[in-house]
Structure 1
Amino acid sequence: MIARPVKAVVLLFPITKKYEAFCKSEEAEIIRSGQTVSPDLYFVRQTIPNACGTIGLLHALINNKDVLDLRDGPLFRMLERTMNKTPDERAAALEADQDLAEMHKLSSVDGQTEAPSADDEIDLHFICFIEKGGNVYEMDGRKPFPINHGPTTGDLLMASKQVQYII
């Protein structure tokens, strides 16, 4: 059983040509039609190769800072420095942050499998889904902006019905 409430879902999935085509059309539609995005949302672009897992975790943690104790440490300091920055400025700050770089390096080699080199071509990708202001957001640092998938009942696991196209 999974404890509730679920505050974030980090999803690992294979990137396919079909998924890439869908992303392009979705992005074009959002640019054409627009979308509502909560001003409280924290989104950072992924500019570091093979760091999608770290970016997904950052999205999950920072966007739930209200229920976490982030009063100290590298994540809190990054948040303080970048709260009023653009997603690209946040990415640049992340690239320059030695504390978070060290945490990323240590966590990426921890576990039972060998971590890929930052230069390796990877066809798997991590993204994060969060709830903010009653809507489900897809947080994918490869994209230029978060995607608002619409209202949720507050149970993020049940919101997976809204993102079945990925699975």
Structure 2
Amino acid sequence: MADVDVPVSSKAFVPLENNPEVMTNLVRQLGLSPTLQFHDVYSLTEPSLLAFLPRPALALLLVFPVTDTYEKFREEEDAPRQDYAGSGQDEEVVWFKQTIRNACGLIGLLHSVTNGGAREQITEGSDLDHLLKKAIPLKPNDRADLLYKSQALESAHATAAAKGDTTAPEAEASVDLHYVAFVKDKDGDLWELDGRRKGPLKRGRLGPEDDVLSEKGQELGVQAFLKREEQAGGGELRFSVVMLGPSLE
């Protein structure tokens, strides 16, 4: 259900487990510096649990079940928008359109590590560095094609998908969980990045002291998302969150 916009005939990946260790291994294999890693966020509101997380939080990955409420909102918000056509060095953020089935986790990881502060922590000469340099000049469809054909990306994803704590479903399986990334760019703007949308979504401006897990960062990003779902659905939304931040190793 999460990949309804991706043609059934397209390439399919084994869904990525929502596991910070698996995610960290994947992005490091591709070329992210060991100075960063993904962390479980056990609570978005409990100060004592938030205090344990190393800051700044460079990106948040929200994992949630795709509901009718979400689909309706997504379609309504995207309807008046033009398909994103950005490319080049002047792009505010690098956005990847998803054309691989069950790859929303991978797209979320790429959005997290190729934007904001994490982008500076990509090892020069790595697979991720080469991929990003090739992607930046390309328009969204050609950029998606680059990901689709990347053997390095497919290999790293397959390795990571096999490392989860639970038995991975088949690549062709129908999965109802979806990943959305929230990232603060170099100018202080907060972005919602989702490969199923028409393009990147600017959600507001953050101050120099704010990261994506700060009160304002959450208010403009993940909490606004969850509040909309809870109010429309009439109940609590099942979700989980991981953040990209400084390594504890």
Question: Do they fold alike, i.e. is TM over 0.5?
Answer: yes
Any runs of at least 4 consecutive aligned residues in structure 1 with deviations exceeding 4 A, and if so which? Answer: none
Secondary structure (helix, strand or coil) at the match of 2:225 reads coil
The match for 1:156 is: 212
Amino acid at match of 2:98: Q
Gapped regions of structure 1 (runs ≥ 5): none
RMSD: 1.8
The match for 1:78 is: 131
- Given the alignment of the two structures, is residue 14 of structure 1 paired with residue 65 of structure 2, yes or no? yes
Gapped regions of structure 2 (runs ≥ 5): 1-51, 85-89, 227-249
Secondary structure (helix, strand or coil) at the match of 1:166 reads helix
What is the alpha-carbon distance in structure 1 between the residues aligned to residue 224 and residue 67 of structure 2? 12
Q: Larger helix proportion, structure 1 or 2?
A: 1
- Given the alignment of the two structures, is residue 136 of structure 1 paired with residue 195 of structure 2, yes or no? no
The match for 1:145 is: 199
- Given the alignment of the two structures, is residue 112 of structure 1 paired with residue 165 of structure 2, yes or no? yes
Contact 1:127 1:140 in 2 (8 A): yes
Residue identity (%)? 33
Is the radius of gyration larger for structure 1 or structure 2? 2
Moved more, 77-86 or 155-164: 155-164
Once the two structures are superposed, residues 33-87 of structure 1 have per-residue CA deviations (whole angstroms, 9 ceiling, x without a partner) of x9xxx72310011111111111111111111454303302211111111111112
Contact 1:48 1:95 in 2 (8 A): yes
Deviation at residue 115 of structure 1 after TM alignment = 1.8
Amino acid at match of 1:116: P
What is the alpha-carbon distance in structure 1 between the residues aligned to residue 138 and residue 72 of structure 2? 30
The match for 2:47 is: none
Secondary structure (helix, strand or coil) at the match of 1:48 reads coil
The match for 2:105 is: 53
What is the alpha-carbon distance in structure 2 between the residues aligned to residue 105 and residue 52 of structure 1? 14
The number of equivalent residue pairs is: 162
Contact 1:19 1:166 in 2 (8 A): no
Which TM-score applies when normalising by structure 1? 0.89
